[in-house]
Copies of this chain bind each other. A is one copy, B any other.
Amino acid sequence: MPLPTRRWFLASVGAATAALAQFGSAALAQVRALGAPVSGYGNRSRFERALRLFPQTRTPEATASFTPLGESFGIITPSALHFERHHSGVPEIDPAAHTLMVHGLVERPLVFSMDELKRMPSATRLLFIECSGNSSSEWLGAGAPSVQRTHGLTSCSEWTGVWLSTLLRECGVQAGASWVLAEGADAARMARSLPIPKALDDVLIAYAQNGEALRPEQGYPLRLVAPGWEGNVNVKWLRRIEALDGPAMTRWETARYTDLTPDGKARQFTFVMDAKSVITDPSGGDTLRGPGVHEVSGLAWSGRGAIRRVDITTDGGLTWSQAELQPPILSHAHTRFRWSWRWDGREALLASRCEDDTGYVQPRRQDLVKERGANSGYHQHGIQVWKVAANGAVTNGNG
Binding site for B on A (CB under 8 A): 1, 3-4, 6-10, 13, 17-23, 27-29, 31-48, 50-54, 60-65, 71-82, 84, 86, 88-99, 101-103, 108-113, 115-116, 119-124, 126, 158-160, 163, 165-166, 169-170, 172, 185-187, 207-208, 210-213, 215-217, 220-221, 239-240, 289, 293-295, 297, 326, 328, 330, 336, 338, 340
Asked if residues A32 and B216 are in contact (CB atoms below 8 Å), the reply is no
Q: How many of these chains are in the complex? A: 2
The smallest C-beta distance from A231 to any residue of chain B, in angstroms, reads 14
Interchain CA distance A293-B118 in the complex, whole Å: 11
Asked if residues A35 and B92 are in contact (CB atoms below 8 Å), the reply is yes
Main secondary structure of the interface of A (DSSP, over half): loop
By Cβ-Cβ distance, the 3 closest A-B pairs, closest first, are: A35-B89, A37-B60, A73-B208
Cβ of A122: which chain B residues have Cβ within 8 Å of it?
A: 73, 295, 297, 338
Interchain CA distance A86-B42 in the complex, whole Å: 14
Asked if residues A101 and B289 are in contact (CB atoms below 8 Å), the reply is no
Interchain CA distance A50-B95 in the complex, whole Å: 14
- Can you list 21 A-B contacts (CB < 8 A)? A1-B123, A1-B163, A7-B108, A9-B170, A10-B170, A27-B111, A29-B93, A29-B185, A36-B61, A38-B86, A39-B52, A41-B44, A41-B80, A43-B80, A44-B79, A44-B215, A45-B213, A45-B216, A73-B207, A74-B159, A81-B211
In the complex where A21-B103, A36-B90, A73-B208 touch, is A44 in contact with B213 (Cβ < 8 A)? yes
The smallest C-beta distance from A49 to any residue of chain B, in angstroms, reads 10
Cβ of A103: which chain B residues have Cβ within 8 Å of it?
A: 21, 23
